[in-house]
Amino acid sequence: TSTRVYECEDFSQLPSSGVSLVSVKERYDYRDYKPEDLRTVGLRNDVPLVRSVATHYSNIGFNGTVIVGSNPSDVMARIFSEHFNVQNGSRIFGFGSYLDSLRAKSIIAREADVDPQSVNILVVGEHGDTMVPIYSQGKIGRRPLLEYSIDLESIKAELRKSGATIVKKLGHSSFGPSKAFLELCTFLNTQNPTHLLPMSTLYQDGVYIGLPIQKSGERFLVEDPQLNNIEQEEFKILCLMRRKKR
């Protein structure tokens, strides 16, 4: 796939199509906040900025794909979509669930002492404390993940706190989000990729949550995640919580 990267000094120079990452925040330091507040600090500080950017994208008639990386990315994707006059063919996604999936691969690989590239795992739901790693469908190579003697509940707990752990130490996260964005660009610029990826997208009642996305040509197909009974219950609870918070 051929990809061109554009450097723009203002919104008027932005191409009208393609894949665009929106990751904006005001000038504050995550290290000044408690770990449990890191998901909500963006809502308190960055919503006007995200709304403003969405309006600029509408004004130039952008009709490509927008990946929202501002935290909390699933909520910010919804806010962006609400203030963006959707053009023909345009799509708005949040990249939190794919970033969570990359982090899950890394943690599982460490605990199982395997190459991260051999781990196949999807994380769906919220980019936060109620994310749902789909262990029942996960694999290491061809072997089901559930056959390994590793503490999956401890991995889930670490995964749910991993973003807060990183930004409290460094004040930001950069490598993981950059890798996620580049891989999503490759996926989105491929006509018929052979795999699916989780991204935050519109689900029910105006709620954005991470779901598996398949791409066929220029069409995006949202798939219901394949969950066991425990994962299904976790997924239902997080959806209910998101509707109440909306």
- The token duo for 102 is 């990359």
Each residue's pLDDT tens digit, 58-117: 988 888 899 999 988 999 999 999 988 765 556 899 999 999 999 999 999 999 999 999
This model's pTM is above 0.85: yes
Average pLDDT of span 160-181:
78
Length of the chain as a residue count? 246
Separation of CA 129 from chain center: 14
Q: How far is CA 212 from CA 16, 30, 64, in A?
A: 26, 30, 20
244 residue type, one letter: K
Of residues 170 and 210, more confidence is placed in: 210
pLDDT of residue 244 exceeding 70, the answer is no
Average pLDDT of span 112-133:
94
pLDDT of residue 155 exceeding 80, the answer is yes
Do 177 and 102 form a contact (C-beta atoms < 8 A)? no
- The token duo for 222 is 């949202």
pLDDT of residue 176 exceeding 90, the answer is no
Quote the percentage of the chain above a pLDDT of 90: 47
Each residue's pLDDT tens digit, 198-227: 999 988 777 899 999 998 887 888 999 999
